[in-house]
């Protein structure tokens, strides 16, 4: 399969995964390896001073093995997100950031105004911005204009597992943007991932679907296959839908 290129980096895998909410570090690393993902997201948080190694993700995830993508999760304003992006850059020594500006605590839906503002500032500072947004075409176009390296519309709210709620909007965004479109959030199971990739998007980022599966490692395998299956199906060009049946076997030569 052709590589996915974002900014100046190319990836063999079109699946990116988060590192949150796993029951143990071992299950996390096994699941991430099974997923085939090359890029993983991480969050910036305070060190627990009484136990500095607690929660330290770099004890489990090696930056030599995976490309780290720091996120700005938990930020509710452009200013906060910019601050978190800079902290992430200092910790990862890379300009890549998954930019989130959340607008509502209940739904975790994005504050698109704050997101655009933060994107402009960070792009000016040399960041490679992957912008988490809703499934709105106009916002996606504005993020691209603002210099986002990739636009990441949601399939459904973060952690909901509701799957692809608006395939039409996701397809529209993909059709109109030049930069890669990575669907981020909401994928719950393999069929969701496959259906999402069938819209022609460039990749998927997921976390909870793996971390909260009963068997995260097996689900990671399922997701890897589903992302590939959806991509191959999209590239193949599906048959036209009809509202009537057409037999697949010859009508002639049926024994009397």
The reply to whether 21 belongs to the active site is: no
CB of 196 to another protein, least distance (A): 16
Q: Figure out which of the listed residues 15, 39, 70, 173 binds another protein, where binding follows CB under 8 A.
A: 70
The crossing angle, in degrees rounded to 10, of helices 78-92 and 112-124 is: 40
Q: What is the DSSP letter of 59?
A: G
Site for another protein in 200-219 (CB under 8 A): 205-208
Whose structure tokens read 């503002």? 117
Q: What is the Cα–Cα distance from 177 to 199, expressed in whole angstroms?
A: 13
Q: Figure out which of the listed residues 7, 27, 56, 225 binds another protein, where binding follows CB under 8 A.
A: 56
Q: Figure out which of the listed residues 49, 239, 245, 246 binds another protein, where binding follows CB under 8 A.
A: 49
Between vectors from CA 250 to CA 246 and to CA 255, what angle results, nearest 5°? 130
45 contacts another protein (rule: CB under 8 A):
yes
Stretch near another protein under the rule CB under 8 A, chosen from 4-12, 52-60, 119-127, 224-232: 52-60
Residues 6+ apart with CB under 8 A from 34: 217, 218, 220, 221, 224
Number of chain positions touching another protein (CB under 8 A): 37
The residues of the shown chain that bind another protein, judged by CB under 8 A, are 18-22, 28, 41-47, 49, 52, 55-58, 68, 70-71, 73, 83, 86-88, 90-92, 158-159, 185, 205-208
């Amino acid at each position: 399969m052709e590589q996915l290129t974002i900014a100046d980096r190319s990836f063999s895998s079109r699946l990116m995964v988060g590192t949150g909410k796993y029951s143990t570090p071992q299950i996390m690393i096994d699941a991430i390896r099974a997923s085939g993902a090359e890029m993983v997201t991480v969050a910036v948080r305070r060190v627990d001073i009484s136990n500095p190694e607690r929660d330290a993700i770099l004890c489990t995830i090696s930056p030599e093995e995976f490309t780290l993508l720091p996120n700005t999760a938990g930020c509710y304003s452009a200013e906060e997100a910019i601050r978190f992006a800079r902290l992430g850059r200092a910790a990862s020594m890379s300009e890549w950031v998954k930019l989130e500006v959340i607008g509502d605590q209940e739904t975790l839906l994005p504050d698109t105004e704050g997101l655009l503002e933060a994107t402009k500032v960070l792009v000016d500072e040399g960041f490679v911005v992957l912008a988490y947004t809703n499934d709105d075409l106009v916002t996606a176009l504005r993020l691209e204009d603002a210099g986002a390296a990739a636009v990441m519309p949601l399939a459904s709210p973060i952690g909901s597992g509701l799957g692809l709620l608006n395939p039409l909007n996701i397809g529209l965004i993909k059709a109109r943007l030049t930069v890669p479109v990575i669907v981020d959030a909401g994928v719950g199971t393999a069929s969701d991932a496959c259906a999402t990739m069938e819209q022609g998007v460039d990749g998927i980022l997921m976390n909870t679907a793996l971390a909260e599966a009963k068997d995260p490692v097996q689900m990671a395998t399922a997701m890897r296959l589903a992302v590939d299956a959806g991509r191959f199906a999209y590239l193949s060009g599906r048959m036209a839908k009809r509202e009537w049946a057409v037999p697949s076997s010859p009508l002639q030569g049926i024994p009397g």
